């Protein structure tokens, strides 16, 4: 970077001969925290560290430490660091749901990146929504940006067995419901899954989105899977700091990296790692903010036929440390590359293509990352379903258990289809209140429906579609019923739900018309879900809904809930703030 580099947008603040008054004003206050006049006017690139770690965000808190190493990398390459906070998003701590805050953090970060003297940014990612929020903002502003994952926690252990984040909760609550453990043991079991700093150690939404960020090319190769406390994590923080300065000099921007082939690579990697059902929502959002056309159907056409290679909970057995030691994302990409399933010339943050980065990456443990020819499951991607209850929903078929398969899909007349009576819940509170009520008459043939849980109904869309059966069924050995809904579900859940249904009940979707007792037919082969009532009856119910003013959901509790409800789109198209996607590459204007 030369002293007079014309590319640096920060010069408009600190070195603007056309507006000497403002330049002076900007300069005098930034000197307050120890930068010298000489530094600020030297033409050095100014690198932002978008800090997502805080006491409110324990998953990302280790970034407060890692940022020091990022600083050292930036300084060594001649850059200046300005670190600033990003609106916190803690998946497990935010009420009513962390999903509400992704778009808020996005908006806040766009304003910061656009409105302050930053030439590039290091995005500190980790916990579920922090990754898409940061990437979406960097895409909109389009200044050089590189992501640094905080990394997963160490493996959790209990009585010699791996206990994984979130996944252990679903298991423990079944044990509790069946009376096999008491409350204290329940808490102990769940806490054992969180032994260190870092994000969820399962293949939940965090490991998924950090892996996909690397597969998209937005972080350094091999960096996503490094556990948070490992020495290598510090090392990659330092390298990330060094690299962002070079990216600024090269003017390598998100729009150069986030291309359609990169998104298709990410979809395929998502299948191979057994990634979260939240990924289609977040990638759709990111694609729209960067101006790439990525219809939901691409998840099935590009991703369904890819086998599951990564043996991590909830679909498999292992956890984050094992994933890293087995080779992480590069080993997975290299397996797909050998089959011609990766667009190898997609550019990445280190200035090389994904093909150059991952060619020859080996698997160090073939039980954790399986070779392509010996997968855990074939066809591990998502399928898309539609019908008279919604236009689009997805299902992760790789987590269908043998018991579930036997109970619902081994009908000799129709091996991919099953039918049953619906029991409908309006939001998670309704579900929790009533699920164990014997009067509902839930049997192993019942289909559980969750509605009022989409981006508008439960602002931000709650992770509640995976519903455990009533306790009395669990004691009888029925540990999962088919679940369908307009909400999301945690990536740590192994439930084969049909979810993310769009449009949601609160946006006039067909789920609003469903009644407990209706029979619903699910045909996975034909990719359909249909309530078995006549068109005339459906039309009548639609009319009644119209007269009633639409599907009822709880009122907004905060200004942001009301604002987001007025602007948010459906999950099929990323649940972004509609209209925000018009603002693209704004740093160049």
Task: Kindly state the smallest distance separating residue 278's Cβ from Mg ion, in Å.
Answer: 6
Tell me phi and psi for residue 120, to 5 degrees: -165, 170
131 in contact with Mg ion (CB under 5 A): no
Q: Which does 490 bind (CB under 5 to 8 A by kind): ligand FES, Mg ion, none?
A: Mg ion
| Residue 7: HSE in the Cβ half-sphere, 13 Å Cα cutoff | 18
507 is a site residue for ligand FES (CB under 6 A):
no
Segment near ligand FES (CB under 6 A), from 173-181, 200-208, 230-238, 476-484? Answer: 200-208
Q: Residues with Cβ < 8 Å from 416, sequence gap 6 or more?
A: 409, 523, 524, 525, 526
Write each residue from 194 to 233 as x if it is in contact with Mg ion (CB under 5 A), else as -, in one continuous string. -----------x----------------------------
Q: Which residues contact 180 (CB under 8 A, 6 or more apart)?
A: none
Report the nearest approach of ligand FES to the CB of residue 457 (Å).
Answer: 23
Residues 80-109 that bind Mg ion (CB under 5 A): 91
Identify the CA nearest to 524 among candidates 393, 430, 389, 422. 393
Assess 127 for contact with ligand FES (CB under 6 A): yes
Task: Give yes or no for residue 200 binding ligand FES (CB under 6 A).
Answer: yes
Contact string 531-550 vs ligand FES (x = CB under 6 A): --------------------
Give the separation between CA 304 and CA 381, rounded to whole angstroms. 4
Closer CB to Mg ion, 91 or 581, in the complex: 91
Minimum distance between the CB of residue 517 and ligand FES, rounded to whole angstroms? 37
Among 490, 497, 502, 564, binds Mg ion (CB under 5 A): 490
Q: Which residue among 79, 204, 241, 387 contacts ligand FES (CB under 6 A)?
A: 204
Report the nearest approach of Mg ion to the CB of residue 463 (Å).
5
CB of 505 to ligand FES, least distance (A): 27
> Between residues 387 and 460, which has the closer beta carbon with respect to Mg ion?
460
Q: Which is nearer to ligand FES, 128 or 572 (CB)?
A: 128
Shortest distance, CB of residue 132 to ligand FES, whole angstroms? 13
Distance (Å, whole) CA 19 – CA 518 = 70
Residues 569 and 389: their CA atoms lie apart, in Å, by 18
Q: What are phi and psi of 152, to 5 degrees?
A: -75, 160
What span, in angstroms and rounded, lies between the C-alpha atoms of 68 and 227? 18
**Which partner in ligand FES, Mg ion, none is near 561 (CB below 5 to 8 A by kind)?**
none
Q: How far is the CB of 59 from ligand FES (least distance, A)?
A: 3
Number of H helices and E strands in the chain, helices first, is 22, 14
Residues 4-63 that bind ligand FES (CB under 6 A): 59
In the bound state with ligand FES, the residue whose beta carbon lies nearer, of 200 and 480, is 200
How far is the C-alpha of 383 from the C-alpha of 393, rounded, in Å? Answer: 8
Q: Residues 84-103: x/- map of binding to ligand FES (CB under 6 A)?
A: -------xx-----------
Does the protein bind ligand FES through residue 206 (CB under 6 A)?
yes
Nearer to ligand FES, 46 or 127 (CB): 127
Is 150 one of the binding residues for ligand FES (CB under 6 A)?
Answer: no
- Residue 321 contact, options Mg ion, ligand FES, none, Cβ 5-8 Å cut-off depending on partner type: none
CA-nearest of 484, 491, 435 to 463 is 491
**Nearer to ligand FES (CB atom), residue 151 or residue 569:** 151
148 Cβ partners below 8 Å, 6+ apart?
63, 66, 70, 122, 123, 124, 125, 219, 223, 236, 237, 240
The least CB distance from residue 91 to ligand FES, in Å, is: 4
Do 579 and 140 meet the contact criterion of CB atoms below 8 Å apart?
no
What is the C-alpha to C-alpha distance for residues 175 and 11, in angstroms, rounded to an integer?
61
- What, of ligand FES, Mg ion, none, does residue 200 touch, CB below 5 to 8 Å by kind? ligand FES
C-alpha separations of 354 from 252, 348, 555 in Å: 15, 6, 47
Q: What share of the chain is helix, strand, coil (3-state, %, to 5)?
A: 40, 15, 45
Residues with Cβ within 8 Å of 520's Cβ and at least 6 positions away in sequence, in order, are: 389, 419, 420, 421, 422, 447, 449, 484, 514, 529, 530, 531, 532
Residues in the chain: 589
Query: Is residue 463 a contact partner of residue 471, using CB atoms and an 8 Å limit?
Result: no
Distance of CA 374 to the CA centre of its chain: 27
Rounded CA gap, 264 and 131, in Å?
Answer: 18
Query: Which residues make beta-bridge pairs with 47?
Result: 81, 120
- Cβ contacts of 53 within 8 Å, gap of 6 or more: 60, 61, 62, 63, 64, 67, 124, 126, 150
Stretch that binds ligand FES, among 16-24, 198-206, 469-477, 519-527 (CB under 6 A): 198-206
Q: Which stretch binds ligand FES (CB under 6 A): 197-205, 235-243, 387-395, 568-576?
A: 197-205
Q: Name which of 91 and 322 has its Cβ closer to Mg ion.
A: 91
Shorter beta-carbon distance to ligand FES: residue 219 or 357: 219
**Distance of CA 59 to CAs 194, 335, 424, Å?**
10, 30, 34
Q: Cβ closer to ligand FES: 205 or 259?
A: 205
The residue assigned the tokens 């694609």 is 287
- Residue of 8, 62, 87, 128 that binds Mg ion (CB under 5 A): 128
Answer yes or no whether residue 497 interacts with Mg ion by CB under 5 A: no
Using CB under 6 A, which of the segments 196-204, 258-266, 544-552, 560-568 binds ligand FES? 196-204
* DSSP SS3 for 294: coil
Please report, as ranges, the residues that interact with ligand FES according to CB under 6 A: 59, 91-92, 127-128, 165, 199-200, 204, 206
Please report, as ranges, the residues that interact with Mg ion according to CB under 5 A: 91, 128, 205, 490
């Amino acid at each position: 970077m030369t002293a007079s580099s014309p590319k640096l947008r920060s010069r408009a603040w600190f070195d603007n001969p056309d507006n000497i008054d403002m330049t002076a004003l900007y300069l005098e206050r930034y000197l307050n925290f120890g930068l010298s006049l000489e530094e600020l006017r030297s033409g050095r690139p100014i690198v932002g560290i978008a800090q997502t770690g805080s006491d409110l965000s324990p998953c990302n808190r280790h970034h407060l430490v890692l940022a020091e190493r990022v600083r050292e990398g930036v300084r060594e390459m001649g850059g200046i660091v300005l670190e600033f906070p990003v609106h916190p998003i803690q998946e497990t701590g935010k009420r009513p749901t962390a999903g509400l805050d992704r778009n808020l953090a996005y908006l806040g970060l766009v304003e910061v990146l656009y409105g302050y003297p930053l030439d590039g940014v290091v995005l500190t990612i980790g916990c579920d929504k922090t990754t898409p929020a940061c990437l979406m903002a960097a895409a909109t502003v389009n200044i050089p940006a590189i992501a640094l994952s905080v990394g997963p926690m160490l493996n959790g252990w209990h009585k010699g067995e791996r206990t994984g984040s979130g996944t252990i909760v679903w298991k423990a609550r079944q044990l509790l419901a069946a009376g096999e453990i008491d409350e204290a043991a329940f808490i102990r079991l769940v806490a054992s899954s969180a032994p260190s700093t870092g994000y969820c150690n399962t293949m939940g939404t965090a490991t998924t989105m950090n892996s996909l960020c690397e597969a998209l090319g937005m972080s350094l190769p091999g960096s996503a899977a490094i556990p948070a406390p490992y020495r290598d994590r510090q090392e990659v923080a330092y390298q990330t700091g060094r690299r962002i300065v070079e990216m600024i000099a090269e003017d390598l921007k998100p729009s150069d990296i986030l291309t359609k082939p990169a998104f298709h690579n990410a979809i395929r990697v998502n299948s191979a790692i057994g990634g979260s059902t939240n990924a289609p929502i977040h990638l759709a959002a990111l694609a729209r903010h960067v101006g790439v056309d990525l219809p939901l159907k691409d998840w099935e056409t590009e991703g369904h036929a890819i086998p599951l290679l990564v043996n991590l909970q909830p679909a498999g057995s292992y956890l984050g440390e094992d994933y890293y030691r087995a080779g992480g994302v590069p080993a997975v990409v290299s397996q797909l590359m050998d089959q011609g399933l990766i667009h190898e010339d997609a550019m990445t943050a280190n200035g090389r293509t994904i093909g150059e980065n991952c060619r020859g990456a080996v698997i160090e443990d073939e039980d954790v990352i399986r070779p392509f020819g010996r997968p855990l499951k074939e066809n591990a991607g998502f399928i898309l379903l539609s019908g008279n209850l919604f236009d689009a929903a997805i299902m992760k078929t790789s987590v269908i258990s043998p018991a579930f398969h036997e109970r619902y899909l081994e009908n000799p007349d129709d091996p991919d289809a099953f039918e049953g009576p619906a029991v409908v819940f309006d939001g998670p509170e309704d579900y929790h209140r009533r699920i164990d009520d014997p009067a509902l008459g839930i049997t192993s043939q019942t289909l559980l429906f969750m509605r009022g849980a989409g981006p508008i109904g439960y602002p931000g869309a709650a992770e509640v579609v995976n519903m455990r059966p009533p306790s009395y069924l669990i004691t009888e050995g029925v540990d999962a019923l088919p679940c369908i809904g307009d909400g999301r579900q945690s990536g740590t859940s192994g439930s084969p739900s049909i979810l993310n249904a769009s449009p949601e009940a609160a946006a006039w979707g067909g789920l609003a018309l469903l009644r407990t007792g209706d029979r619903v037919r699910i045909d996975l082969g034909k990719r359909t879900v249909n309530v078995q009532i006549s068109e005339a009856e459906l039309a009548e119910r639609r009319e009644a809904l119209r007269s009633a003013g639409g599907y009822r959901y709880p009122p907004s509790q905060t200004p942001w809930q009301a604002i987001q409800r007025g602007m948010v789109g459906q999950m099929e198209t990323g649940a972004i703030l509609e209209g925000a996607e018009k603002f693209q590459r704004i740093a160049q204007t």
